[in-house]
Amino acid sequence: MKKKVYIYKGFERFWHWSQAILVIFLAFTGFEVHGSYKFFGYENATVYHQIAAYSYIVLVIFTIFWHFTTGEWRQYIPTWKNFKAQINYYLFGIFKNAPHPTKKTVLTKLNPLQKLTYLGLKLLVIPVMATTGLLYMFYRYPQSHRIESINIDSLHTIALIHTIGAFLIIAFLIAHLYLITTGSTVTSNLKAMLTGYEDIESDEKEDNKVEEIKEEIN
Ligand code: HEM
């Protein structure tokens, strides 16, 4: 039996959507800085990119804090359970109306592929983008020569890593947009991230576990 479940909390939805807006804006201004097109003008694009970058870093700091204070960081612990089944589902099962191999619950919101991808973004891609971006900023901008003291030979490598990261993020965004539509209905994942609620198969064992945790917290 399906039950309406509160799956995404208020702050979680806030950081998801503000992150989406900031990252899309960073990609848009970043590729103008890169020289891919002209929209805001180079000078403006660099300023906007910098403002969005600082806003994003602040959001990331708050989000790290949220993950640890709520225990939600556990959602991202990678697992091999259902890993192959999940790949097979996206390659074949999905086209034959096969059931989802991972059942979504409050305690397991992410399937094994999502866990690994999001962990990779959080531990690798975002830190690399922020670090190379800040190095770029402090090395490149003429008003600041601070980074010279740690002897970075060339901006080239930093810019290259930052740009590769930007391409990875865009590849992720495209895959993410497709995968959003592969929930129990085409719009169910999107609705859940907007309202917080999703109709999911209820599981007595899982419900009891959630109640136990709630009692422990209170
Ligand atoms: C998270 C913190 C980030 C910081 C601190 C940062 C900072 C910077 C800085 C300082 C520049 C050089 C601008 C200039 O020449 O004046 C730059 C370039 C760029 N950024 Fe970011 N950025 C961040 C995130 C992102 C993200 C998330 C994306 C894309 C999804 C992105 C894409 C780009 C691109 C494509 C360039 C042009 C690189 C080149 O052609 O050399 N940035 N970034």
| CATH (domain of 92) | 1.20.950.20
Angle (deg, nearest 10), helices 126-140 and 42-70: 140
Q: pLDDT tens for residues 56-98? A: 999 999 999 999 999 999 999 999 999 999 999 999 999 998 9
The protein residue whose alpha carbon is closest to atom 18 in ligand 1 is 30
Ligand 1 atom closest to Cα of residue 24 = 30
Can you give the residue range of the structural domain that contains 145?
2-217
Minimal-distance CA residue to ligand 1 atom 1: 130
Which atom of ligand 1 has the smallest separation from the CA of 169?
30
**Confidence class for position 141, pLDDT limits 50, 70, 90:** low
CA atoms within a 13 Å half-sphere pointing along the CA-CB vector of 161 = 17
Summarize pLDDT for 188-216 with one digit per residue, the tens.
999 999 999 998 877 666 667 666 766 76
Q: Determine the 3-state secondary structure of 15 from DSSP.
A: helix
- The reported pTM is 0.89
Residue whose Cα lies nearest atom 43 of ligand 1: it is: 133
What is the DSSP code (8-state) at residue 124?
A: I
Residue 217 CA: distances (Å) to CA of 10, 52, 160, 206, 210: 18, 36, 46, 17, 11
Q: Which atom of ligand 1 has the smallest separation from the CA of 31?
A: 35
Report the pocket of ligand 1 as residue ranges, CB < 6 Å.
Answer: 23, 26-27, 30-31, 33-34, 46, 49-50, 53, 56-57, 129-130, 133-134, 136-137, 140, 159, 162-163, 166, 169
Q: How far is the CA of 28 from the centre of ligand 1 (A)?
A: 10
Contact, 56 vs 26, CB < 8 A? yes
Do residues 4 and 195 touch, judged by C-beta distance below 8 A? Answer: no
Block residue for tokens 């180079």? 42
How high is the mean pLDDT of the chain? 90
Count of the separate structural domains present in the chain: 1
